[in-house]
Amino acid sequence: MGASAPFTSNLLEIIMSLSNLIKNAGLWGPGVTPTSQFSVTTTTAMTNLATSFKITTDIVSVTTSGATGNAMALPAGASLGDTVVVGNLTANALTILPATAAGKINALAAGASFAQAASKNASYLCMGNDNWLAVLSA
């Protein structure tokens, strides 16, 4: 159990290094602002795509979530290879959605949400056309 925290920390360092390499190579698409991060406090119920928090940066740290399942939408206009890292530092699960109702995360149905558990980090890689590959930390 004690190895999980260092692994998670190392994973974030690796992701940041990759983000910097991609940014320096000029490979970022228009939907994501490279190497920018912000912390989010969600206190109101955001349960679907219309009411979700819209992610616009490549790193998001959710520090407070007022309810389990608060929804966050991945960036609209993301390009193939764009990566978004979401750190859920709360005791509540998050609901992660593609930017559009036609978008997909992993092998889920179009518009379906991806559950990001409490105290977990996840990396979302855009595969193009609002289709995302999600990798959840241990």
Mean pLDDT of 98-107: 95
Q: What is the pLDDT of residues 20-67, one digit of tens each?
A: 665 555 554 444 444 455 556 555 567 788 888 888 888 888 887 777
**DSSP string covering 107-120:** TPPTT--EEE-TT-
Provide φ and ψ at 126, rounded to 5°: -75, 125
Helix segments in the chain, DSSP class H: 4-24
Enumerate residues 6+ apart whose C-beta is below 8 A from 123.
11, 15, 83, 84, 85, 134, 135
Residue 14 in 3-state DSSP? helix
Q: How far apart are CA 120 and CA 51, in angstroms?
A: 23
* CATH 2.60.40 is held by the domain 4-136: no
Q: Is the pLDDT of residue 106 over 90?
A: yes
Q: Whole-model pTM?
A: 0.71
115: closest CA among 74, 78, 70?
A: 70
Mean pLDDT of 68-72: 83
